[in-house]
């Protein structure tokens, strides 16, 4: 029996958040429909942040209330604080995502808070979510490289993970926000993480800035991680982290997993179609490394 790996699509949020061309709600729903048709069932659809800070997410409430209500689909919304949490849950969100940078400088540059202040906000939201039956995924961003401090002490990442877990986080997502990590770092960090946290509680979020996103995912996979973020066509990059370009492309991740004998439940040909749909609404050509090869195949 093949082992199941969950591919968590973040293109609609992380992918679109810093696009210069505004993508309307109906267009986002069309991209979402193509993603669902490919077999993707776990999707981060938006973020309840300030519309002034991230204009692309200004339709968060409208989008969330327009999501299809089909069995087996799992949607989530990113929230920055308790106010965002309340907006998200009032709009129907049952799973929320929180982001905490691993370094003090990144938190100050991103949200004008110290690491300790930002941690407290995250812990308060986690506890509120626990009390209200809302699932909380917690990102530790810049976990491998910080654009301001460069080196990230893995011990600090482990400490943050322990605090989030103790507070009641349902999932810990280790994020290489700038794509500056390397395989050795991932190997050592996840080797340490799985000692204190069950692998099923861990997930990976890797960027392909330096062309190593897929390799980093493979290393984490060897430590028992069975859930990974990816973005359709490689869309995305944090607008608040210099040098953070595209996310790991969903099509590359799905192809690797399917070819390696893991069960994703995702049709790679239909993922390719979703890439084409998304490309029609952004000002850039989309597609991971596998797209060129896929387009030469008459049958798969």
Closest CA to 39 of 293, 295, 292, 272: 272
Residue found under tokens 């103790």:
166
d(CA 56, CA 36): 21
Q: Which residues are catalytic?
A: 238
- Report the distance separating Cα 204 and Cα 111, nearest Å: 23
Q: Which helix (H) or strand (E) holds 171?
A: strand 171-176
Closest CA to 268 of 32, 37, 5, 6: 37
The tens digit of pLDDT for each residue in 189-220 reads 999 999 999 999 999 999 998 999 999 999 99
User: How far apart, in Å, are the Cα atoms of 99 and each of 78, 131, 143, 178, 210?
Assistant: 8, 20, 11, 14, 23
Residues 236 and 223 sit within 8 Å (Cβ to Cβ): no
Structural domains in the chain plus CATH codes: 6-294 (3.20.20.70)
Confidence of residue 105 (pLDDT cuts 50, 70, 90): very high
Q: What is the mean pLDDT of residues 10-17?
A: 94
Task: Supply the pLDDT for residue 237.
Answer: 59
Residue 77 CB-half CA count within 13 A: 30
Q: What is the pTM of this model?
A: 0.95
In the numeric block, which tokens belong to residue 221? Answer: 């996979």
Residue 99 CA to residue 119 CA, distance in Å, equals 9
pLDDT score, position 243: 46
What band does 281 get if pLDDT is binned at 50, 70 and 90?
A: very high
């Amino acid at each position: 029996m093949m082992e199941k790996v969950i591919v968590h699509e973040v293109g609609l949020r992380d992918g679109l958040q810093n696009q210069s061309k505004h993508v309307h709600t109906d267009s986002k729903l069309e991209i979402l429909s193509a993603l669902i048709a490919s077999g993707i069932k776990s999707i981060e659809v938006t973020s309840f942040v300030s519309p002034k800070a991230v204009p692309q997410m200004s339709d968060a409430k409208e989008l969330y209330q327009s999501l299809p209500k089909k069995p087996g689909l799992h949607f989530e919304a990113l929230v920055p604080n308790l106010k965002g949490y309340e907006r998200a849950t009032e709009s129907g969100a049952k799973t929320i995502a929180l982001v905490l940078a691993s370094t003090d400088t990144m938190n100050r540059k991103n949200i004008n808070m110290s690491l300790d202040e930002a941690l407290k906000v995250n812990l308060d939201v986690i506890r509120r979510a626990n009390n209200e039956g809302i699932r909380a995924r917690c990102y530790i961003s810049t976990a491998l490289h910080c654009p301001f401090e460069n080196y990230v002490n893995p011990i600090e990442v482990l400490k943050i993970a322990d605090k989030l877990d103790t507070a009641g986080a349902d999932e810990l997502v280790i994020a290489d926000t700038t794509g500056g990590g390397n395989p050795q770092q991932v190997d050592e960090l996840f080797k340490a993480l799985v000692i204190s946290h069950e692998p099923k509680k861990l997930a990976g979020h890797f960027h392909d800035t330096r062309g190593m996103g897929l390799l980093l995912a493979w290393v984490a996979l060897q430590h028992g991680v069975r859930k990974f973020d990816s973005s359709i066509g490689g869309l995305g990059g944090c607008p608040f982290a210099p040098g953070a370009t595209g996310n790991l492309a969903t099509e590359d991740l799905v192809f690797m997993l399917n070819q390696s004998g893991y069960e994703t439940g995702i049709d790679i040909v239909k993922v390719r179609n979703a890439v084409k749909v998304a490309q029609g609404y952004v000002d850039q050509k989309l597609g991971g490394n596998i797209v060129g090869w896929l387009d030469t195949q008459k049958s798969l």
